[in-house]
Amino acid sequence: MNHYAYENDAPSLCETFSSYFRVGAAVNTWILDSDKNTEKENALIKHQFNVFTLENESKPVYVHPEKDRYDFSKFDRFVRFGQETGTKLRGHTLLWHGQCPDWFFYDDNGNEVSSEILIERLREHVTTIVSRYKGKISTWDVCNEVIKDDGSGMRESKWYKIGGKEVIKEAYRAAHKADPGARLILNDYGLENGDKKTDAIIAFVREMASEGVHIDGIGLQMHLNLFETDMDSLKKNVGRILTLRDDIPGFRLEVTELDMSCYRWNDKSEDIIWTDELEERFICQYSTLFRYFMELSEQDLLDTVVFWGIGDRYSWLNGFPRKHKNFPLLIDRDLKFKDAFYKIAELADRH
Ligand code: GLA
């Protein structure tokens, strides 16, 4: 009989892997207080996870919606939760093309700003946020998704079009100055299977390191799926990223947004019917993955694995890229552990 993950006597994901890495989840602030509507979810996060990312409410559109107005209410609540529970917190994210307000890019007359002004605005944004949480947020996804999907260069975002690579590098400089003790990450998706994209991110991080721009590691989002994620290719590409150890002392990986969609990326069919065969596949993919994570941790290369959501019911994949019931996580819609959890827990026991 599988456990409800919120029960006191249920096994705990973060305890299971405590000698390897922290296990975490993306959460939103509604879950951080326990009232009659959130009691189970609140108990679950406290029991299961020891590192957290704020799923949406720390993104620029919420925190810095207007040039002269910050709104730290949600972010402050998140940080208080980390202090109350003694858990590790990740800051996500300071520069991204998504969920970013337009004011960064235009002046009062609606004209595009110069690269100097954009860099100045960015510097102020990063310095204000990172200084406020100095010593409280241990890792920042400073920049998110700055490389083009086909690896042919930097993503043509508004940030890049106006400020070039310099705007991205400046984000790292300002973050490091504001909190020299924070780990600074460049976060992206698809690095496990996109050979060219992986080459491009390696080259960019190497360039930063050679210019003395402080960066500690790469965040592998790992939005995987049951059919298209090839574990051999994943290991090969992660192995290539790890050559950055030669350029950056103490280089680290963090798994930042893990989930395993049950649809191919472009699948537009009806809701999937869960079968034993899919269950087997799910168990097999997660087992291979966690075995690999444990190996990376044994080599001191990975200390943080964060799921993008606490359980299937709350996954973004139920609404994106289409409205489909999805089953990507180890905890199901009723907040019960799936069999896959017990299988990966056995791996940790055996070591
Ligand atoms: C990307 C972003 C996250 C989140 C997910 C989907 O991976 O980095 O912040 O928006 O997409 O929810």
pLDDT score of 121:
98
Query: Token pair of 269, please?
Result: 């069919």
Q: Report how far ligand 1's centroid is from the alpha carbon of 188 (Å).
A: 9
Residue where the block lists tokens 């790890």: 242
Say which residues have a Cβ less than 8 Å from residue 170's Cβ, sequence separation at least 6. Answer: 119, 122, 123, 163
Residues whose CB is less than 8 angstroms from the CB of residue 237 and which lie 6 or more positions away in sequence, other chains included? 191, 192, 193, 194, 195, 198
In this structure, the strands spanning 88-95 and 217-220 are unpaired
Give the residue from 26, 94, 34, 89 showing the smallest Cα distance to 329.
Answer: 26
What residue's CA is closest to ligand 1, atom 8? 144
**If 0-12 CB within 10 Å is exposed, 13-18 middle and 19+ buried, where does residue 262 land?**
buried
The reported pLDDT for the residue numbered 117 is 98
Ligand 1 center from residue 307 Cα (angstroms): 11
- Separation of 176 CA from ligand 1 center, angstroms? 23
Q: How many angstroms separate the CA atoms of 252 and 305, rounded?
A: 12
- Which ligand 1 atom is nearest residue 59's CA? 9
At 350 the pLDDT is: 75
Q: What is the pLDDT along the chain (351 residues), one digit of tens a residue?
A: 899 999 999 999 999 999 999 999 999 999 999 999 999 999 999 999 999 999 999 999 999 999 999 999 999 999 999 999 999 999 999 999 999 999 999 999 999 999 999 999 999 999 999 999 999 999 999 999 999 999 999 999 999 999 999 999 999 999 999 999 999 999 999 999 878 999 999 999 999 999 999 999 999 999 999 999 999 999 999 999 999 999 999 999 999 999 999 999 888 888 888 899 999 999 999 999 999 999 999 999 999 999 999 999 999 999 988 888 999 999 999 999 999 999 999 999 876
Amino acid at 229: T
Give residue 33's identity as a one-letter amino acid code: D
Rg (CA), the chain: 20
pLDDT at 235: 97
Atom from ligand 1 closest to the CA of residue 189: 7
Report CA(1)–ligand 1 centroid distance (Å).
Answer: 33
Which residue minimizes the CA distance to atom 4 of ligand 1? 55
Q: Is the CB of 316 under 6 A from ligand 1?
A: yes
Q: What does the pLDDT read at residue 351? A: 66
Residues 6+ apart with CB under 8 A from 262: 225, 226, 272, 274, 278, 282, 326, 327, 328
Give pLDDT, residue 183. Answer: 98
* Size of the chain in residues: 351
Ligand 1 centre distance from Cα of residue 145 (Å): 10
Q: How many CA atoms lie within 13 A of 211 on its CB side?
A: 13
Ligand 1 probe mutation, 57, 99, 142, 257, most atoms within 8 A of CB: 257
Nearest CA to ligand 1 atom 2: 144
Q: Which residue has the tokens 């890495």?
A: 21
In short, whether 189's Cβ falls inside 6 Å of ligand 1 is yes
The best mutation among 61, 99, 308 to test binding of ligand 1, ranked by most ligand atoms within 8 Å of the C-beta, falls on 308
Residue 70 parent element (H or E): none
In whole angstroms, give the CA distance from residue 159 to residue 156: 8
Residue partners of 308: CB distance under 8 A and separation at least 6: 25, 26, 55, 221, 223, 257, 258, 259, 315, 316
Give the residue numbers marked as catalytic. 145, 257
